[in-house]
Structure 1
Amino acid sequence: MLSKKNSLVSPRTQKVIKLIPPDGGWGWMVLFGTALSNIFNQSMLSLFSLLYGDALEAMGHRTQGAAVVMSTMLFVTNFGGPIAGAVVKLTSARFVAVTGACFCTMGIFFSGFSTNIIHLVITYGVLLGLGLGFIQNSSFVAINSYFKLKKSRAVGLANVGTGVGQTLMPHLVRYLLENYGFRGACLLLSSLSLHGIAGTMLIQPVEWHLKKVEEEVVVDETLHLLQDRGSRKTSQSNGEPQKIELTNENEKANWGSKKTLSNKELNGGKINKSDANGLNGSNGNGTPKKQNMLTKLYDLFGISLLSNMRFLNIVIGTALAVTSIQNFSMLYPFFLQHVASMDKQQTANCMSAVAAADICGRLILPIFQDKYKIKARWMLIGTCVWLIVIRQILAYQTNIEVLIVMSCLYGFGRSMIIVARNIAISENCRMDQVPAAVGLGMLTMGIIVPPAGYFLGWIRDYTGSYITCITAQNILLVILLVTWVPDMLYLLMKERRNNKTNTEQAQT
């Protein structure tokens, strides 16, 4: 009888105008600017040996000196992530991206005047490393804010710039070194790096381009009373749906956070109690709570995310995946020359096949993910299975034709780890937490990549076997699968139970 009575009473609704990302529009210009910056800045990661190798030998350093400079650069890049995330929250993604591009230009420019390894550590290691860290964090935050449904596709397109730069820039660097020498090459490359500053200037605040979408949401009566008591600004309903337009400056600045009722997506279409009662960052009468310095730093760097076991699982898993592909990329040329007995031209052909397939993967796989609405973590899980199989087969091959095919298959799968790692992190936090979350992800890579890479190198030297080392690299991906698959299956079953419950409630 009670259920029959409830079915006759129409639920109370409110019309809410939500501000959502444009999923295009000026976002395509942001992608173009980011890709332009990646072509001339991110590609410098793969140019170190070619550009600075002879200069290091002239300074009296070889492999060990190169390792010191590269390790410094990677350390500063990853550990600069949390700093970049904090600065993004204090200023804007555009400011941090432009600052990072300026650091990159200065690092390349001043490295041309290096006379000893300390100069290279400061210019290439610190300045360029800090610039790359700032660009990586801020550009993803900007893209993440402009795109929701097409996010994976957008990140893939932006990262195509890195692949293009890694394909074309080595030939340009070789030409510049032959015709203008080391210093001239650095000066001309720094002038090209200025295009990165122009590209990052295209990152406009997303608040300028948000779209208004009207939605009708069901509001629980108890929560509505709490909202009335907290705000004392709503009028009593006369039976008609209420219309709330979220257009003030505070809501525009936090369009993706709890304050704009985005919890509707997280709480089954109901308004969060803390929002209704004015408990999100306020004391109930509209005035913000006072915070001490430690609390502000705690919020600024997103330290609360570290208390979430799922978040820790994600950032550690992505760091293991990045370690695995980075170490394989370093090992692969030696494997081709020493195990498959290939000359330099054949080795270059295989490496070019990896790069070309990587670019294709960054263009194709994100479209597939967006079309079928596959979560980034599932894409990473599928990619890890793909890479484990491909690399384990590749480790036993010596035929040039087979290795080129396997190189293409490997590069195609590798692209998804580069595209989806930050998306996987952003999918598990609020919009306002994304800068800090990406920064903590970079910090985790900075902690895990060096010792794990060193351990994998030790395995290769101790066993004398490239096959054993590749197997060890695959074990890192197996660890990711073991820790991620049970959690993802649990979330999948939970989502299906919730959908089943909502369907039964709708039918009654």
Structure 2
Amino acid sequence: MSGKNSSENGETEENTVPDGGWGWMVALGCYVMVVTLPGMSLSFSILFSTFLLDLGVSSTTTAWIFNSHLLLWNLVGPLTGPLTMEFGFRRVSMICAAAASVCLILCSFATSAEFLLVVFGIGGLFGGLGCKPCYLMIAHYFKRRRGLATAIMMAGMCTGQFVGPPLIRLLQETYGFRGATLIIGSIMLHSMAGAALFQPVQWHIKKTATSKELGKQETLKDKQEDASLINTPVSNPQPPLPLRNKRLRQVSESSASLHLSTVDISGYPTICEEPDVCGSETSQDSSKTNGGLILITRVLRSTINDLTILKSPPALIIALGGLLSQNGYLNFMLLMPFAIQAHGYTLQDAAWCVSVSGICNLVARLSTTTLSDCSWFNMQLVYVFGACIFGSASIVFTFVTDIKWMMVIAGVWGFGVGVNISLFTLVMARIVGVENLAALLGASSLLVAVGFITIGPFIGFIRDVSDSYDVAIWFLVGEVLLFVILWLCMPAAIRYERKKEEEKGEHSSDIQNP
């Protein structure tokens, strides 16, 4: 975020993001948030597998519970921007983090799968709304050091995936299902402490004075005035709604440089800036009296506008590919603990397999995002190669029976997931451009949500009909194969898009010069 204000002495005040300072506390808050909130999703099977197996719940019902949670987690992506604009990042994150924790605490009193379906699903809605503002906070506070701050945040997710399963098993062995779930829900309440660090960036904006005339020498008095400007608190931390729309749009469009994961994160808000698309300033002012209706209308218009980007073949391939890859690896994570227990091993063994995959996932994310800045790094090729790795590991997993080899394969699988997911946003920006990034992220988030509620339960149905976890995993491998086939068509789609743009440009020239 930056801006300039003219002063009477011919100088301009330039606002710059903190790029440090309190920003590191914000990065710490984001780390705490992603350690705790996504843990309820990534540790679902470890938390509830024993409970569901004791109830004799079918795999179809289990898949419905898990995928309904993921559906709502991704579906709230377009709501993140409008809500944070209206109520602020800290308030939205703290309230939703508390609500998500309460939902998990209520799950400890579950006596049926239907209760879990409702309460755990609602927990996904609040978890998504609580966690997604983290990505925007990093973009608000950092520019030059944005990659480092994002790496800190992303490390939190893999930390939760590594620490969570063994901790859950230890608590379950000590306190049983209900006691362990109560404690994990209470631990999730610590995410509120992380959200409490989300101070408005306007409180920490740096102001520096620059001369309009090149070569002009600043006097000692000018420097003292500049220093006083930097230390002066901003009196109006919340800008008017039209300015907030514009600034948030600028942050969303500049987020291409972020090395992000989209497991949890496919939720950048897409807020329109042009009056003819999102409504005039008068209509925005009227939101003071009709806030709810105006907010819903704005979100719907933004969502519809984002979906039009899927008319572009490259954008459609990226969105469908994200649906297939995320559905494939997250549902494998759902099935893996059940499959391990079906081979006669304990839930503790399954928890260690999940933890090993989390460690390898972290290594892959950090190394891949670091190498992605190198000129020789072929981002698209490595992105597809990551999917090939976790797809191959998935099918090999179905042919081994020794727990040691299962852990090794889980590690390889986690590494492939880390490589693929860490490049999703970067590949998206490389192909469609920064100016279309926000729209494609919103459209992709909706497609991923639809995939979870349609394909996800069908995987559970396949498991019930075949009475085999291996067959269900083979179906997931088929999704990864379809992902690879789609990306093999990407060069042709890009050529088609370029040819279409060239023809459109020639047609415009003919009209202007008959």
Per the normalisation by structure 2, the TM-score is: 0.66
CA–CA distance in 1 between the matches of 2:391 and 2:345?
A: 26
- CA offsets, 1:131-173, max 9 Å, x none? 2111232222222333445545544432322222222223332
1:474 maps to 480
- CA offsets, 1:406-447, max 9 Å, x none? 54333223114444445666786879984x765543322110
1:303 aligns with 2:298: no
1:94 aligns with 2:100: no
CA–CA distance in 1 between the matches of 2:210 and 2:320?
A: 38
- CA offsets, 1:358-412, max 9 Å, x none? 1222333222234659797676345335445665676666787766555433322
| One-letter amino acid of the counterpart of residue 305, structure 2 | S
485-494 or 105-114, which deviates more: 485-494
| One-letter amino acid of the counterpart of residue 187, structure 1 | L
Cα distance change of structure 1 residues 28 and 373 upon mapping to structure 2, 3 Å threshold: farther
1:314 maps to 318
1:384 aligns with 2:387: yes
1:47 maps to 43
Secondary structure in 2 matching 1:166: helix
1:109 maps to 105
The 8 Å contact of residues 61 and 113 in structure 2, kept in 1 or not, is answered as yes
1:244 maps to none
Which of 22, 29, 32 is residue 26 of structure 1 equivalent to? Answer: 22
Secondary structure in 1 matching 2:190: helix
Alignment of 1:82-481 (within 5 A): 82-126=78-122, 128-148=123-143, 151=146, 153-210=148-205, 253=244, 254-255=246-247, 257=249, 280-281=274-275, 288=281, 290=283, 293=294, 296-297=297-298, 301-309=302-310, 310=312, 311-332=315-336, 343-344=345-346, 350-370=353-373, 380-388=383-391, 404-422=407-425, 434=438, 438-455=441-458, 466=471, 468-469=474-475, 471-481=477-487
The 8 Å contact of residues 97 and 189 in structure 2, kept in 1 or not, is answered as yes
The 8 Å contact of residues 391 and 413 in structure 2, kept in 1 or not, is answered as no
The 8 Å contact of residues 456 and 472 in structure 1, kept in 2 or not, is answered as no
Cα distance change of structure 1 residues 412 and 212 upon mapping to structure 2, 3 Å threshold: farther
The 8 Å contact of residues 37 and 196 in structure 1, kept in 2 or not, is answered as yes
Cα distance change of structure 1 residues 96 and 332 upon mapping to structure 2, 3 Å threshold: same
Determine which structure has more spread, i.e. the larger CA radius of gyration: 1
RMSD over aligned CA atoms reads 4.9
CA–CA distance in 1 between the matches of 2:404 and 2:360?
A: 15
Secondary structure in 1 matching 2:199: coil
467-476 or 422-431, which deviates more: 422-431
153-162 or 290-299, which deviates more: 290-299
Alignment of 1:485-504 (within 5 A): 485-486=491-492
Secondary structure in 2 matching 1:308: helix
The 8 Å contact of residues 17 and 140 in structure 2, kept in 1 or not, is answered as yes
- Tell me the CA shift for residue 212 of structure 1: 6.3
The 8 Å contact of residues 302 and 433 in structure 1, kept in 2 or not, is answered as no
Cα distance change of structure 1 residues 181 and 389 upon mapping to structure 2, 3 Å threshold: closer
- Tell me the CA shift for residue 118 of structure 1: 4.3
- Tell me the CA shift for residue 307 of structure 1: 1.3
The 8 Å contact of residues 361 and 416 in structure 2, kept in 1 or not, is answered as yes
Cα distance change of structure 1 residues 416 and 489 upon mapping to structure 2, 3 Å threshold: farther
| One-letter amino acid of the counterpart of residue 37, structure 1 | M
The 8 Å contact of residues 70 and 452 in structure 2, kept in 1 or not, is answered as no
CA–CA distance in 2 between the matches of 1:431 and 1:156?
A: 23
Cα distance change of structure 1 residues 177 and 389 upon mapping to structure 2, 3 Å threshold: closer
Cα distance change of structure 1 residues 446 and 490 upon mapping to structure 2, 3 Å threshold: same
The 8 Å contact of residues 165 and 352 in structure 2, kept in 1 or not, is answered as no
Cα distance change of structure 1 residues 124 and 137 upon mapping to structure 2, 3 Å threshold: same
Cα distance change of structure 1 residues 167 and 303 upon mapping to structure 2, 3 Å threshold: same
The 8 Å contact of residues 103 and 130 in structure 1, kept in 2 or not, is answered as no
The 8 Å contact of residues 45 and 334 in structure 2, kept in 1 or not, is answered as no
| One-letter amino acid of the counterpart of residue 306, structure 1 | L
Secondary structure in 1 matching 2:155: helix
Gaps of 5+ in 2: 1-10, 217-233, 255-272, 287-293, 501-514
CA–CA distance in 1 between the matches of 2:202 and 2:434?
A: 17
Cα distance change of structure 1 residues 314 and 172 upon mapping to structure 2, 3 Å threshold: same
| One-letter amino acid of the counterpart of residue 355, structure 1 | G
| One-letter amino acid of the counterpart of residue 81, structure 1 | G
CA–CA distance in 2 between the matches of 1:456 and 1:66?
A: 10
CA–CA distance in 2 between the matches of 1:172 and 1:348?
A: 9
